[in-house]
Structure 1
């Protein structure tokens, strides 16, 4: 397989103790029986849906997957390390990714009758040990990619299983509604990924929606960081509060909607609004998260009523339409976060940033923004700055879910925003040098 280096502009585009590792009480023979029953139930479910639609029975098979090891480089996909049916390797990240993708594929197949991210059983490719001290995980349109964290703020990104389910769900979204990764549609993209991530976590723990903790990325921070998780769907804005990383900036109501140019229009900040709506809907509908509200959200996603640029109200209306007897409960859940299904609400235009030379890195799985400024006259970066801000950026360049976005702002000029996978060598070097000189959370 041809490798690709995502550090260049030529790159191709887009809890804490994993529960699936716990030994089953009844031993391996019972586990094998349970697995056979689950697979049979999934196949019958798909066949029933096809029959109801007037089509022939559909044969369903668990998609093939491969975990690769990038060996701390940015060359993708890396060296194959483990596939279906192969024993554990002893490499924690490889084995966590393997167990996580099997559990994720199983949930989508059995509970939603969806085979792989494309719905047609496409092979799934994952890469671990990406980069050096890389604090991120993302879906690049081809690959699920996971860094090992820096060991100071973040643990490895394969540790919480919901991180993997979140990234896989971005791939599902791309193959269904393909929500544009900007503004409200981007926040919906992030939120739907969190929805299925939380559904998987609760499914593995055998929980009903009422029993879930609704935490996303629990265990992703190092123990020294004052944090419960990366996000809290039940209480957006309360997941962490640490002297170094700051306080969780997520919002959970339209009254607090954040208007910003960072993070693709605040996709990780404002995703707390639809996240809270789902949590409220899941409790109102009852049952398991995936079998209740999760089914409704999925049906809305694939039902054809959600355009790529959907705002919160449009998506809310689609979930109400898909909710059947639970329509009023779902409508009320959205109303509680300030969204009236079907009624458009557009925030005011965001102000443009300004400064001497400001470099900002925003987004990533954590949704954090870091920025630094330097004096153009004393920085010694003049030539590099000229190359970086003059570099053309493709007008149709689309940011990929959870990849970083870099913004270069020179006083008197419009900001230049570049998705991570499209950085030129000069832009990457400029960002490295400026951010290294001192960053601040924003």
Structure 2
């Protein structure tokens, strides 16, 4: 018997920087590729950084995008614009909902891709667009000149044309269109923080929806699908098959210009890094492989049981700082709730996570009792004094905490901040980050390692601000 979709939990959307081509690939191209490819990569990195700064509110927006009109629940409301190789959005409206094809391949591919993603959400999951409230789907094509990326900016899709050698036009891959739209879905549901494991899960969810949207459009079962992300993006000069492979992470490309696919397939090869927001595009290979293992073990369409289980988790009781182990626990609980504790589906979920060496574990709740199993003995006595001043009310709030008293995920985040001297790096960049009216200022002091910094709010990344706020509330 088909059960109704899980209820949608609306949250205030987070604003990560969501682009399909990871920054580490672009940085490599900017340094090693011949011109004009290197110039295109440098331009793309600059535009992407500007996007990130605008979404954080530390740079003025050049966009005039408005929230697209809602659909009527029976079909999508799409609008595709031509940016005309400029970077001001949305550009000129060239195809509205119901209009005939324009003959511009990028315009018509974007239009069709928006519709295919809407149909998967509506038909397979009973969801009315990204926000479950009829959000219109807007896109802009021909963004910039030789722009080597595509992104979701919080209200619409944006596509570059590529360079024709390394990257084709970014509307050519349906899975890329669905991937970027799914970042919007995550904003309106789980709101996964774009950092570390929760950020890798954010990317993973988008890869899942990208791959399954393509399979749904082609009416493919899991065992015949290619499970590639961005296969149509790579140009003739690239030695590779796609940007990522969910079936075999780490094998998508091995190219003198792009480098070698760095994705791990199991926790044994998990990559600890401060680059790419803690490896969000890298370590997503681990849950990607788990979903592929689940879908192929069950067989049939991946948009049935596998996608429904993942969707139940996204719209259920999930924290924004979710880890792989907690996500695995939630998917197992969702499978048992929907299909039964001893169901084939629940057993397949457990086996899928075991195959990538992730052991399901429930989220740890905040506690005032130091956990002896967390970190070293020194962690339990490492004291951080955090002070927040300013804001609309001009109030001051101070917390003096020992890392051992914090939830494990927060304690680990503090250890990384202190050990890697990220706070000092933020402080050194602070003169370029001017405080905005009614914003906060944060002061952090710690004896070991010695730390004493003052940071204006615009200089503090979102994940660190959220850590600060949780610490003050604890």
TM-score normalised by the chain length of structure 1: 0.68
Matches within 5 A, 1:380-391: 390-391=431-432
Which protein has greater RCO, CA pairs closer than 8 Å, 6+ apart? 1
> Is 1:337 the equivalent of 2:356?
yes
Residue 208 to residue 393, structure 1, CA distance change in 2 (3 Å): farther
> Is 1:312 the equivalent of 2:331?
no
Is contact 1:62-1:121 (8 Å) kept?
Answer: no
* Residue 182 (structure 1) aligns with: 195
Work out the CA distance in 2 between the residues paired with 1:283 and 1:146.
32
Is contact 1:319-1:330 (8 Å) kept?
Answer: yes
* Residue 127 (structure 2) aligns with: 114
* Residue 150 (structure 2) aligns with: 137
* Residue 436 (structure 1) aligns with: none
Is contact 1:286-1:292 (8 Å) kept?
Answer: no
SS in structure 1 opposite 2:138?
strand
CA displacement, residues 264-317 of structure 1 (integer Å, 9 cap, x when unaligned)? 11000000000000000111222201112011111111122x111111111111
Work out the CA distance in 1 between the residues paired with 2:149 and 2:268.
30
SS in structure 1 opposite 2:141?
strand
For structure 2, the 5+ residue unaligned runs are: 1-49, 64-71, 364-407, 440-452, 462-474
Residue 285 to residue 94, structure 1, CA distance change in 2 (3 Å): same
SS in structure 1 opposite 2:142?
strand
In the TM superposition, residue 60 of structure 1 has moved relative to its aligned partner by 3.3
* Residue 292 (structure 1) aligns with: 305
CA displacement, residues 342-379 of structure 1 (integer Å, 9 cap, x when unaligned)? 1679788487499xxx9xxxxxxxxxxxxxxxxxxxxx
Work out the CA distance in 2 between the residues paired with 1:390 and 1:81.
42
Work out the CA distance in 1 between the residues paired with 2:178 and 2:260.
25
Residue 248 to residue 119, structure 1, CA distance change in 2 (3 Å): same
Residue 148 to residue 387, structure 1, CA distance change in 2 (3 Å): farther
Work out the CA distance in 1 between the residues paired with 2:89 and 2:460.
20
Superposed structure 1 runs of 4+ greater than 3 Å apart: 5-8, 343-354, 386-389, 393-397, 413-419
Matches within 5 A, 1:128-207: 128-207=141-220
In the TM superposition, residue 134 of structure 1 has moved relative to its aligned partner by 0.9
In the TM superposition, residue 252 of structure 1 has moved relative to its aligned partner by 1.2
* Residue 253 (structure 1) aligns with: 266
Of 280, 284, 294, the match for 1:281? 294
For structure 1, the 5+ residue unaligned runs are: 14-58, 359-385, 398-412, 420-442
* Residue 251 (structure 2) aligns with: 238
* Residue 433 (structure 2) aligns with: 392
Is contact 1:393-1:418 (8 Å) kept?
Answer: no
Work out the CA distance in 1 between the residues paired with 2:454 and 2:265.
31
Is contact 2:210-2:229 (8 Å) kept?
Answer: yes
TM-score normalised by the chain length of structure 2: 0.63
In the TM superposition, residue 73 of structure 1 has moved relative to its aligned partner by 1.1
CA displacement, residues 118-147 of structure 1 (integer Å, 9 cap, x when unaligned)? 011111111111111111111111111111
Work out the CA distance in 2 between the residues paired with 1:105 and 1:308.
24
> Alpha carbon RMSD of aligned pairs, Å?
3.1
Work out the CA distance in 1 between the residues paired with 2:108 and 2:141.
10
Is contact 1:259-1:349 (8 Å) kept?
Answer: no
In the TM superposition, residue 12 of structure 1 has moved relative to its aligned partner by 7.6
Work out the CA distance in 2 between the residues paired with 1:315 and 1:298.
12
